[in-house]
Amino acid sequence: MPSFWRNLICHGQYFCIYPAAFDSQEERYAGFSSPLHGTGVDVMTSDNVELRCYLIRTVHNPSARATAILFHGNGYHVWHHSHCAQQFYKLKCHVLMVSYRGYGGSTGVPTERGLRQDAQAALDFVLADSQLSSVPIVVHGHSLGGAVAVDLVSRNPTKVQALIIENTFLSISTVVRELPLIRYFTFFVHQKWDSASKISSVPRTTPILMLSGKRDQVVPEKHMHELWALAKTRSGPGVKDDTPLEDTFETFPQGQHADTSIQSGYWITVGNFLRALDKLRDKAVSLSRLISASPTQIRPSSFYTGMIQLVLYHTARTTKMLQKD
């Protein structure tokens, strides 16, 4: 193949996969009218790219239930994701809206490797903040953002407590393979975003919520169903179906690729998912207090109550020792 065509195919895919990154300044703000609440924060990546992100803290409600890190789709900028941010805020979450390199007001040029660094920088920013990291961290991604989210959680299995993805694909190669005119160029795809292989690395103890629009004409719904099937086969320490950590798949009959998040019941589903995390956190706090207590601090009101409390104390202490081993 002549070098001209090879370069066109190899480099042209950046324009196809990250189209909004090549918008003019006027185009970046087109169609955006609602106010963007929050504070602009500059997040530096490991390769010195500056990401212009937005942070909303639940300052009027100190008992935040979680910190949500949001990753938007490839055809949008960070402010187009403000509706989701406001909904998470209403659900008592701190919110970090991430703007990829080349998008919004961020510097740099988007690549798969670069966006992976962007996501890591966002998570590290949250972990370094005592307020944001004091509650469970939830990662939410739409479309390409879902692939970014899956990749991030797979690389940070102990640092993220929940994963939410919406209308996400199995991989870029799979999407290309389904397109009539360019399916024969799948071999040249170097931006992989292979969620199909990475979702198995998400810990079984990290609950996943999948939100699928049945009328999605960009990413066929079968991608989400196949990701769901793969997620259910995750190995390692697991959770039972009757625990607060149950994975959830929800379909929205009228949901299209870009409007599933405004469908009836979407945020009720997210709210229910977060409530399950609340129960998990409450149990963890109770267990932590029990482990930190000494037998002399346990004052039973009766002999039987005392025996039960003593058994619970030693069980918790043994569990902690086994976890250390």
Residue type, 67: T
Name the band, by pLDDT with cuts 50, 70 and 90, for residue 26: confident
Q: Give the three-state DSSP class for 89.
A: helix
More confident residue, 162 or 324: 162
Query: What residues are paired with 213 via a beta bridge?
Result: 252
pLDDT in tens, 42-74: 999 999 999 999 999 998 666 899 999 999 999
pTM score > 0.85 for this model?
no
pLDDT digits (tens, 9 = 90+) for 148-184: 999 999 999 999 999 999 999 999 989 888 876 665 5
Mean predicted confidence (pLDDT) in 69-98: 94
Spatial separation of the C-alpha atoms in residues 9 and 188, rounded to whole Å: 7
HEC per residue, 158-226: CCCCEEEEECCCCCHHHHHHCCCCCHHHHHHCCCCCCHHHHHHHCCCCCCEEEEEECCCCCCCHHHHHH
Q: Note the Cα 112 to chain centre separation in Å.
A: 17
CB contact at 8 A, 171 and 194? yes
Check residues 287 and 88 and name the one with the higher pLDDT: 88
Once rounded to an integer, what is the mean pLDDT over residues 14-43?
A: 83
**125/51 Cα distance (integer angstroms):** 11
Strand segments, DSSP code E, in the chain are 39-44, 50-56, 66-71, 93-98, 137-142, 162-166, 208-213, 248-252
Task: Give me the residue label for tokens 């670069």.
Answer: 114
Provide φ and ψ at 11, rounded to 5°.
-90, -25
| Confidence tier at 202 by pLDDT (50, 70, 90) | very high
Check residue 3 and give its pLDDT.
Answer: 53
Closest by CA to 278, choosing from 151, 161, 169, is 161
Q: What is the dihedral of CA 254, 257, 263, 268, to 10 degrees?
A: 120
- Provide the 10 A C-beta neighbour count for residue 266: 20
Tokens of 207: 């609950």
Contact predicate 105/52, CB 8 Å: yes
Say how many C-beta atoms besides its own lie within 10 A of residue 166's C-beta: 29
Q: Which of 211, 207, 258 is nearest to 234 (CA)?
A: 207
pLDDT confidence of residue 238:
53
Note whether 152 and 160 are within 8 A (CB): yes
Confidence at 292, pLDDT banded by 50, 70, 90: low
1 Cβ partners below 8 Å, 6+ apart? none
pLDDT recorded at residue 305: 46
Question: What number is the average pLDDT over the span 71-83?
Answer: 92
pLDDT tens per residue, range 256-289 = 999 999 999 999 999 999 998 887 666 555 544 5
Percentages helix, strand, coil for the chain (3-state, rounded to 5) are 45, 15, 40
Out of 75-84, 89-98, 100-109, 224-233, pick the least confident: 75-84
User: Strand 39-44 relative to strand 50-56: parallel, antiparallel, unpaired?
Assistant: antiparallel
Residues ≥6 apart with Cβ < 8 Å to 313: 290, 291, 293, 295, 298
pLDDT at 30: 75
